[in-house]
Amino acid sequence: MANDPLAVALGTFVIALVLKPNWEKNITVVILVGVLTGLAFWAKLTNSTLILFIMICLTISVLKKSLPLRNAAIVGLVVVFICALINVPSFLSNLHRYGTLTTMQESLLNRENKATFLDLLSIIWKTFLPIRLMSLWLTQSTWFGGWSFLKPPVFKYFITLLLMASLSGWGYYFVRKTDTPPFLFSDSNTSLQIFVLILCLSAGISWFMIQTYIAWKITGGSAWYAAVVFPFALMFICEGACRFSHKFGVSISILLILSYILIEFYSIVHIMLPVYSGGLEGFKAIYQISTIQPLLLGTGTLFISASILFVVYALTLLLIFIPASKRLERAL
């Protein structure tokens, strides 16, 4: 099965708990992480990379000498054991019915066609996988229409430039060996952990892309597969901008958030609505889309949800700007 909303919600809870300092020292939190990770894996296969993410985070804690090796091993075993309890029954059922651990149709088809592991590895460069991943992270995933494979407006690439400029802050930080303290995170390990998270999700999506290319001769995988990491990746990017200076980082972050909101609004009205309604625009497009929805999800509900979304945007900006301005005052 695959339940994207449930998988994103559960995966987000797991990541938030694991990024919290000293989570591994609280047995209740450890058990909760195990349960949520197991359920997230059960909801969507790409969340299996969260297990790898947790293991690497435990390894980082051991290397940083903030957690004894014995304790890290126990925590890892507890998490894996709970995940196994939740998922082994479905694994056994799949093995009995299909001969594989999962029901991913591409994997089943490749098994029938006797595709080997070497066949899968040979596809990496044929699919231009690195370029596809860059497109997913910097273009498709950074605007909602990309989840439906729609082309973004030209000025959407302004956001891509902001993202790349922010990420370059990490290069500046390591080359210059600056002693700029973390701005968004209280724990210096958090940025490294989020980077590991991005790599783990990228590996999972890459594996799916390879499987789909072998099976269908097209590169599958879309932006929502990595949706669980987006909020944390954005924090990592903004923290990178803060490596130049806290003032620059806050300015770039505010500009990035405002650009996201404005471009999303423009894209919904001028790109997504016309495409989804068959070429109509304005209220005609809204009415056309509402006619294919249940009455409960009609035009009235659309305007109510849009109003709620506006309020959420406003509250988000306040929750970001007010703490950021106070922290910036202390930093200066």
Least confident of 15-29, 37-51, 71-85, 164-178: 164-178
Give residue 130's pLDDT. 75
Lookup result for tokens 């989804």: 276
Give residue 327's pLDDT. 60
The answer, yes or no, to whether residue 298 has pLDDT greater than 90, is: no
User: Residue 320 is inside which H or E element, if any?
Assistant: helix 299-331
pLDDT-derived band at 325, boundaries 50, 70, 90:
low
The answer, yes or no, to whether residue 332 has pLDDT greater than 60, is: no
Q: What is the mean pLDDT of residues 277-292?
A: 82
20-25 contacts at long range (C-beta below 8 A, 24 or more positions apart)? 21/186, 21/187, 21/189, 22/66, 24/58, 24/61, 24/67, 24/71, 24/72, 24/75, 25/67, 25/71
**What are the pLDDT digits (tens) for 251-273?**
888 888 788 878 878 888 888 88
Question: In a 3-state reduction of DSSP, which class is residue 63?
Answer: helix
- How large is the angle between the packed helices 190-216 and 230-241, nearest 10 degrees? 130
Alpha-carbon distance values, 127 to 46, 199, 208, 301, 302 (Å): 19, 19, 12, 42, 39
pLDDT-derived band at 322, boundaries 50, 70, 90:
low
Provide, rounded to the nearest whole percent, the portion of the chain with pLDDT above 70.
Answer: 85
Alpha-carbon distance values, 129 to 122, 124, 143, 237 (Å): 11, 6, 21, 22
Give residue 60's pLDDT. 94
Give residue 127's pLDDT. 66
Give residue 110's pLDDT. 74
The answer, yes or no, to whether residue 221 has pLDDT greater than 80, is: no
The answer, yes or no, to whether residue 15 has pLDDT greater than 80, is: yes
Domain positions in the chain are 1-103, 106-275, 277-332
pLDDT-derived band at 131, boundaries 50, 70, 90:
confident
Q: Which DSSP symbol is given to 99?
A: S
Q: Which residue has the higher pLDDT, 329 or 281?
A: 281
**What are the pLDDT digits (tens) for 161-199?**
888 888 899 988 888 876 677 788 878 789 999 999 999
Q: Which residue has the higher pLDDT, 331 or 136?
A: 136
Average pLDDT, the chain: 82
Beta strand ranges found along the chain (DSSP E): none
Which of 127-131, 191-195, 199-203 ranks highest by mean pLDDT? Answer: 191-195
Q: What is the mean pLDDT of residues 91-112?
A: 79
Q: What is the mean pLDDT of residues 124-132?
A: 71
Q: What is the mean pLDDT of residues 110-135?
A: 72
Least confident of 9-18, 40-49, 55-64: 40-49
Q: What is the mean pLDDT of residues 12-27?
A: 94
Question: In a 3-state reduction of DSSP, which class is residue 298?
Answer: coil
